[in-house]
Amino acid sequence: MAILLQPMSDPWRIADLLDRVQPITGRLAEPAALGRKLDVFKPEVVYHLGWSGSGHAGRNDPRQQAENVHEAVALVDLAADAGATAWVGL
């Protein structure tokens, strides 16, 4: 199991799980670099829980949501290219 961590992020909420996952450092906004890392990891299933702005003023910002949709679709494509057979977005 792997988890995508943004560079310079503080994973304090999942600190007790980090010894059970393979961290992959990257950004959804940089799909080429992330795609190479997914190709190496070869996920079977990808769960996307990284919707930006959901708890802030951004949740009503059409530009923020358009960016979220764009990044989610890019992740679907990257996951498929890396061999994933399922993608779950939350």
Which pair of structure tokens corresponds to residue 11? 């994973």
* Residue 17, pLDDT score: 93
User: How many domains is the chain partitioned into structurally?
Assistant: 1
Q: Please state the pTM of the whole predicted model.
A: 0.83
* Residue 64, pLDDT score: 86
* Residue 21, pLDDT score: 94
Q: What is the pLDDT of residues 10-35, one digit of tens each?
A: 999 999 999 999 999 998 888 889 99
* Residue 87, pLDDT score: 94
Classify 23 as helix, strand or coil: strand
Alpha-carbon distance 38 to 51, whole Å?
19
> How far, CA to CA in Å, does 38 sit from each of 43, 58, 65, 67, 75?
7, 28, 24, 21, 10
Place of tokens 């940089």: 30
Alpha-carbon distance 3 to 22, whole Å?
6
Q: What is the pLDDT of residues 35-70, one digit of tens each?
A: 999 999 999 999 998 888 777 777 788 888 899 999
